Chains A and B, each alone.
Chain A
């Protein structure tokens, strides 16, 4: 249990460093620090920033896997540093920024393109019918249909892990497609066709080759590839294939 019966151990944090302002290329720094098994990797990064090197730069906010700020590559896999515990780590912990996004500083990447792609899929409920006086009814089964997709925290882990996104920077990426799914399958939405058109283009669902990296990297354990496959099936039905 947290904070009790836990022995300190030495861990080596190998961190990829880069500053747009100061560096022409990246380097690796190593910090050796004491950690307890139930502490988070984020606690380790905090300790380094607080006491060893104040210039170490990374994003964080909620600290428990909801805000999506602290996605990074930890020992080669995209994870949230706030929900990765030391007990599950080897003695050397390799920290890198998310792949495929431009690095601003150390672990901080530029996510503007990621959010712009999201905007493209009309990420909002569209329904111009006059609303009823009370709530629009939605059955539990209808809600179940979107339950997984609404838990997305937009941390960027999936899109950054996708090999298609690495090679086609216009590809919408798993996160945006999942967002489209969230509305296309919401029983209250009325812009399904339009949205489906948007994700069926040359850089949409058909670029997905079911590599499953997104599923593997999702900190909320969403079956993103499964959702994309369902959208492909729907697009096919509507003759929206390439």
Chain B
């Protein structure tokens, strides 16, 4: 079936929904998602959304700007960061007006709490900047935006799986999708297409990310020769539940929680004397794993404790109810009585589709754009997070840059024609599906996927080095060959989730190769990318963004400069 919309938005997380609200002022909008709209991974964001509202204590966008630059280990583009931090206050007030049920101060204002890396007076002490709705902030905002989109008449296509994004020369024409429930192809031609498909934490064994976070659209674009930026920077969150990886929000430390090792020491005092447990995530992850490596895990094992026992029960109930429930369900412990066993868990991708400050997708390092193609949110790289994102800046990124992309689309679609998708484009997708369904191969999807996730975790997570990365890239090559021999049990067309799993696995392999190759290439340590064989940051060579291109000869790397407008690079101490 063919459809025509002024704007097509891929995925219904926060960035997509926020953009949809704006784009609907200029024409009709279709939002496609492989899940139902309210099931997107944005709903799992817990702790907060950052803005210098100053509701709890004095705060300034300028301080937020500095913290974000420093948090990014000076790789973030400062023009974009300044826009985000300056626009944050307006963005949060707007969300409140749209119905988001933020938690409140006794005066009835939006409540705010401490979060990692957010300080006053350029690093002097922590500041309460994270606006929250208990520990269900993402859920609260997704619902409010989804609801407002319904009011605006945005058309949703739930459980539509993107097979291809059609780009010819320098123009995006739309997307080819599979309606999961019927197995039918649907072609969406558009004037503008926005990718807002989120992250791909599923490439790692231990992750806070949803099953759906497999990065399909990034892989499709990469294969369409759109470069991917800064893919070596993948954030691990310090506090995932031990053994399962479910996120325990940084807000738990924002409310006073502390990390302790097997000797009962509050070890973050040694790594970040000023802000301690509220240090940025890259530093806390390395600190935790260093403690474990040096034998100071709990009982010498591979986890440490997040201790919330000293926090009043009422605070836990009111501000951290969800994570308290997670601890009870998945670990069988009450966090007011027992410490929580935690380990770093794969959480967020700083890298992604290179865009300008209005979401236009770049196709090279010189700044040429693909007409009619936009990206926003976690899948995009503006870059406001640089080498390491600060907590509560991701939700902010989605609503600020989702809105900007939506605005740009609203203006640009007046001058663009509808895209045209020829039947031979559909044939490629049809052949992909048919070849998987008819294969009598012997490989099981799960064996390859587990193999990939284990290896990515072992060799490409918090600590990396050349030898391991090279070995990893070789094994990804072998795993790619093995996927050619996948055989499905399910040969039907309707709601074939095994087929979806197979396609997602191909995308995960593509992205893993880009991540590992980008990590091998960057011979320094910066933010979340730590090379044991190159442990220092090297601004003379590496103060630049990586762009990975697909070529016939393999992945080619080109670079572009970091935009520095205000803050010069300095040693990163907390």
On A, residues with C-beta under 8 Å from B are 1-4, 19-22, 38, 49-51, 53-55, 57-58, 60-69, 83, 85, 104-105, 108, 110-111, 115, 119, 123-127, 131, 133-140, 142-143, 146, 150-151, 153-154, 186, 188-189
Say yes or no: A137 contacts B494, CB within 8 Å.
Answer: no
Say yes or no: B139 contacts A51, CB within 8 Å.
Answer: no
**A64: which B residues are within 8 A, CB to CB?**
44, 246, 326, 330
Say yes or no: B140 contacts A135, CB within 8 Å.
Answer: no
Say yes or no: B39 contacts A69, CB within 8 Å.
Answer: yes
Say yes or no: A124 contacts B99, CB within 8 Å.
Answer: yes
**A20: which B residues are within 8 A, CB to CB?**
494
Confirm or deny: B329 has a beta carbon within 8 angstroms of a beta carbon on chain A.
yes
Q: Which of B104-112, B231-239, B276-284, B545-553 participates in binding chain A?
A: B104-112
**A135: which B residues are within 8 A, CB to CB?**
92-93, 96-97, 102, 109-110
Q: In the assembled complex, how far is the CB of residue B469 from the closest CB belonging to chain A, in whole angstroms?
A: 28
**B151: which A residues are within 8 A, CB to CB?**
124, 126
- In the A-B complex, list the 9 residue pairs whose CB atoms are closest, starting with the nearest: A125-B99, A50-B446, A54-B489, A3-B243, A55-B490, A137-B108, A2-B243, A124-B147, A67-B39
Can you list 11 A-B contacts (CB < 8 A)?
Answer: A1-B242, A1-B333, A2-B244, A64-B44, A67-B40, A105-B494, A123-B150, A124-B147, A124-B151, A135-B92, A136-B96
Q: In the assembled complex, how far is the CB of residue A84 from the closest CB belonging to chain B, in whole angstroms?
A: 9
Query: Which one, B139, B150, B210, contacts A61 given CB within 8 A?
Result: B210
Say yes or no: A1 contacts B104, CB within 8 Å.
Answer: no
Query: Which one, B107, B332, B333, B494, contacts A104 given CB within 8 A?
Result: B494
Confirm or deny: B212 has a beta carbon within 8 angstroms of a beta carbon on chain A.
yes
**A2-B244 Cα distance, complex, nearest whole Å:** 8
Query: Which one, B106, B139, B444, contacts A140 given CB within 8 A?
Result: B106
**B223: which A residues are within 8 A, CB to CB?**
none
A50-B444, A123-B150 given as contacts; is B492 within 8 A of A63 (CB)?
Answer: no
Confirm or deny: B181 has a beta carbon within 8 angstroms of a beta carbon on chain A.
yes
Q: In the assembled complex, how far is the CB of residue A153 from the closest CB belonging to chain B, in whole angstroms?
A: 7
B1-46: which have CB < 8 Å to A? 35-36, 38-41, 43-44
Q: In the assembled complex, how far is the CB of residue B274 from the closest CB belonging to chain A, in whole angstroms?
A: 31
A66-B44, A67-B35, A140-B106 given as contacts; is B494 within 8 A of A125 (CB)?
Answer: no
What is the count of residue pairs linking A and B with beta-carbon distances less than 8 angstroms? Answer: 165
Query: Which one, A54, A61, A63, A134, contacts B498 given CB within 8 A?
Result: A54
Say yes or no: B104 contacts A143, CB within 8 Å.
Answer: yes
B61-101: which have CB < 8 Å to A? 92-93, 96-99, 101
Say yes or no: B490 contacts A143, CB within 8 Å.
Answer: no
Say yes or no: B93 contacts A134, CB within 8 Å.
Answer: yes
Confirm or deny: B285 has a beta carbon within 8 angstroms of a beta carbon on chain A.
no
**A127-B330 Cα distance, complex, nearest whole Å:** 41
**B242: which A residues are within 8 A, CB to CB?**
1-3
**A62: which B residues are within 8 A, CB to CB?**
39, 41, 43-44, 210-211
Query: Which one, A57, A115, A137, contacts B107 given CB within 8 A?
Result: A137
**A83: which B residues are within 8 A, CB to CB?**
329
Residue of A nearest to B107 (CB): A137
**A1: which B residues are within 8 A, CB to CB?**
242-243, 331-333, 341
Confirm or deny: B429 has a beta carbon within 8 angstroms of a beta carbon on chain A.
no
B237-253: which have CB < 8 Å to A? 241-244, 246
